């Protein structure tokens, strides 16, 4: 069949690759000048837009839990090399208090101070036991149509940490996390917490490059679609330059809020499923500013660090290990920390268009 895939992000490119492999003739439409979607690897599919940098640094998708079995199998098929990483996490409150994971404690403290930090962590784990049992025992049917706030009702450090992991995973402002669908978040938390992680050697975009080595179809970049209409025998795709193309089938690999905007003839069922979706626009920043850790006495940052500031919660992810960088400089990826990062330390700023998840 002649198939159109709208969207050249990870889902679109994997879909195109698999259909191409089955013998279909596939055309990928991408509105941006580059492929990758939320995969934005510096010095591969994007270039630094604030200051020079020679490394392959991630400004979007970073690392992958080993629970992503299908992804790991796909990387093996593409012969993409993965490397285990040891990740840590820290929670830094505006009042100067902090809570650190075991990995981060080992990297930053020794002697009595290390013991004190471990006692603080053990106390947090003990207080979290009941909550963790509650999340693990919840069955998928009972999670349906319930927000995360149904399970994290009482404000606490342990609840905030789980919400912050959700914020990290979906790059959504912390104030929206209470409304996140529990059936989406809780299975994710079960898989993410207390699991192992891997990175893509050479940068995450390298697996898109591997796809392109095998892909035999067409890729149209900088191509804005204005309308998709369906007839009995074909699908017509109209492009902003006034041209149109016909296909047997079309696949949407876009954020869900874009589907109704593109469909010229949505069915009632499609209206029901897609009309309520809204967009979430996230901005990430690659930088070398370590001063945000100074008041906490932290010398070595980790991969899941969360900061409470006057502008709310944000995260800072250490990139050196995740990107295979050997440098005395500490490179990081931040979200919602614009007010505390020194402008002269910024290397790259990246905009992302993601879904806004709610129970609706």
Q: List per-residue pLDDT tens for the chain, 360 residues long.
A: 999 999 999 999 999 999 999 999 999 999 999 999 999 999 999 999 999 999 999 999 999 999 899 999 999 999 999 999 988 888 899 999 888 877 777 766 454 454 444 344 444 444 444 455 455 566 667 778 888 888 777 777 777 888 888 888 888 889 999 998 888 888 877 777 667 899 999 999 999 999 999 999 999 999 999 999 999 899 999 999 999 999 999 999 999 999 999 999 999 999 999 999 999 999 999 999 999 999 998 888 999 899 999 989 999 999 999 999 999 999 999 999 999 999 999 999 999 999 988 887
Could you tell me which of 173, 191, 219 has the C-alpha nearest to residue 311?
173
Does any domain span residue 120?
Answer: yes
pLDDT at 108: 61
pLDDT at 124: 45
pLDDT at 159: 79
pLDDT at 111: 47
Distance CA 228, CA 206 (A): 31
Does any domain span residue 284?
Answer: no
Does any domain span residue 155?
Answer: yes
Angle between helices 206-214 and 69-78 (to 10 degrees): 60
DSSP lists the bridge partners of residue 82 as: 200
pLDDT at 135: 58
Count the domains in the chain: 1
CA atoms within 13 A on the CB side of 94: 9
pLDDT at 157: 76
Measured CA to CA in angstroms, residue 239 lies from 6, 234, 267 at distances of 12, 16, 22
Does any domain span residue 23?
Answer: no
How many CB atoms lie under 10 A from the CB of residue 243?
A: 9
C-alpha triplet 216, 217, 218: angle, nearest 5°: 135
Does any domain span residue 107?
Answer: yes
The dihedral through the CA atoms of 111, 117, 123, 124 has a sign that is negative
Determine the distance from the C-alpha atom of residue 63 to the mean position of all C-alpha atoms in its chain, rounded to a whole number: 9
Does any domain span residue 55?
Answer: no
Task: Return all residues near 323 (Cβ < 8 A) that are at least 6 apart.
Answer: 55, 56, 57, 58, 199, 203, 331
Does any domain span residue 33?
Answer: no
Q: What are phi and psi of 51, to 5 degrees?
A: -155, 160
Does any domain span residue 334?
Answer: yes
Task: Return all residues near 316 (Cβ < 8 A) that are at least 6 apart.
Answer: 292, 301, 305, 306, 307, 332, 333, 334, 337
pLDDT at 287: 98
Provide the domain limits for residue 90: 82-200+290-341
């Amino acid at each position: 069949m002649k198939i159109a895939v709208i969207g050249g992000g990870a889902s679109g490119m994997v879909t195109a690759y698999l259909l191409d492999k089955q013998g279909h003739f596939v055309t990928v439409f991408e509105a941006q000048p580059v492929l990758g979607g939320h995969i934005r690897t510096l010095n591969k599919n994007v270039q630094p837009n604030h200051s020079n940098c020679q490394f392959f640094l991630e400004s979007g998708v970073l690392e992958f839990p080993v629970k992503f079995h299908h992804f790991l199998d796909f990387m093996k098929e593409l012969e993409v090399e993965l490397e285990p990483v040891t990740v840590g996490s820290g929670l830094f409150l505006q009042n100067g208090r902090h809570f650190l994971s075991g990995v981060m404690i080992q990297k930053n403290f020794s002697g009595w101070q290390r013991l004190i930090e471990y006692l603080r962590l053990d106390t947090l784990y003990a207080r979290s036991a009941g909550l963790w049992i509650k999340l693990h025992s919840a069955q998928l049917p009972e999670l349906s149509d319930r927000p995360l706030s149904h399970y994290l009702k009482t404000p606490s450090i342990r609840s905030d940490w789980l919400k912050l992991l959700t914020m990290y995973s979906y790059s959504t402002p912390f104030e929206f996390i209470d409304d996140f669908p529990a059936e989406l978040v809780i299975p994710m938390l079960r898989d993410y917490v207390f699991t192992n992680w891997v990175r893509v050697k050479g940068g995450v975009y390298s697996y898109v490059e591997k796809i392109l080595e095998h892909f035999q179809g067409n890729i149209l970049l900088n191509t804005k679609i204005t309308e998709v209409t369906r007839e009995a025998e074909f699908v017509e795709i109209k492009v902003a330059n006034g041209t149109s193309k016909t296909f047997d089938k079309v696949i949407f690999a876009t954020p869900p809020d874009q589907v109704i905007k593109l469909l010229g003839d949505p069915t009632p069922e499609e209206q029901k499923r897609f009309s309520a979706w809204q967009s979430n626009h996230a901005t990430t920043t690659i930088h070398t500013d370590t001063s945000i850790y100074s008041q906490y006495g932290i010398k070595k940052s980790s991969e899941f660090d969360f900061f409470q500031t006057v502008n709310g919660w944000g995260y800072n992810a250490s990139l050196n290990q995740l990107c295979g960088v050997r440098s005395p400089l500490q490179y990081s990826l931040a979200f919602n920390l614009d007010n505390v990062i020194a402008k002269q330390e910024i290397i790259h700023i990246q905009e992302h268009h993601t879904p806004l998840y709610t129970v609706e």
